[in-house]
Amino acid sequence: MLGIDPMEWASFGALRRRLGWWRAIRLGLALRKRVEGGEPFQDLPPAEGQKDIESREQIAPAVVLYRLLCEELERPEAMRLVGEVVEAGAHVFLRETIGSISRELFEGLDADARRALLDERIGRFPNTIYQIQDAGSSSVRFTVSACRFVRLCSLVGVPELTPVFCAVDASYFSEVEPSVELIRPSTIAGGDDCCDFTLQFVDRESS
């Protein structure tokens, strides 16, 4: 497990804390071998474009880890552990991908610039098809009308895993980006037509 990137190292750390060094290393090596061999998408048609390729690359380790853990643990326990591993790695990914989001950043821009900034940040995520409803100085709102993670998890037979990826957003904005409150009353993974995101800026003192 040496030489891995920060996101992988964070994910491995979560696995190690729950299972211990040697068991985590064994699972990590098995996971890497299977992913490099094409799992879990080897039986699907080729990816449809770059965003589909990137979406598959993002969730392949989580899907394979879930399958490996289900060979050793009861399914609910495997799900909980995958959730912890995904959360640890995704927090690193989100920090690197979207950077800081703050009231000060948006207040210093006019309406067009705020929308352009939000569009650029959300566009870094390959799994979403989204529409921006509002980009204000105190809150922003956008909806995701399609999520490749939901589709891919369903295609490989693990639809129950999809909420794990949704949970990352809530934990990130409550733990890592405390000046932003996430309001998301609906998710595609939960059976709704869209994921409805509102990011409400709050004072750090009251967070």
Q: By three-state DSSP, how is residue 85 classified?
A: helix
Residue range 118-161, pLDDT digits in tens: 999 999 999 999 999 999 888 999 999 999 999 999 999 999 99
In a domain, 1, yes or no: no
Q: What percent of the chain shows pLDDT beyond 90?
A: 74
Cα separation of 166 and 187, whole Å?
8
The confidence score (pLDDT) of residue 4 equals 60
In a domain, 110, yes or no: yes
Report, as an integer, the average pLDDT of 179-205: 89
Contacts of 34 (CB under 8 A, 6+ apart): 40, 64, 68
Has residue 204 got a pLDDT over 80?
no
Q: Considering its fold, how many domains does the chain have in total?
A: 1
In a domain, 56, yes or no: yes
- What 8-state DSSP symbol labels residue 166? H
pTM: 0.91
Residue range 80-130, pLDDT digits in tens: 999 999 999 999 988 888 877 777 888 888 999 999 999 999 999 999 999
In a domain, 68, yes or no: yes
In a domain, 137, yes or no: yes
Q: Kindly report the average pLDDT of the chain as a whole number.
A: 91
In a domain, 156, yes or no: yes
In a domain, 143, yes or no: yes
CATH code for the domain in which residue 39 is found: 3.30.1380
The confidence score (pLDDT) of residue 61 equals 96
Residue 6, token pair as written in the block = 């920060």
Domain of 105, in residue numbers: 6-206
Question: Which helix (H) or strand (E) is 23 found in, with range?
Answer: helix 21-36
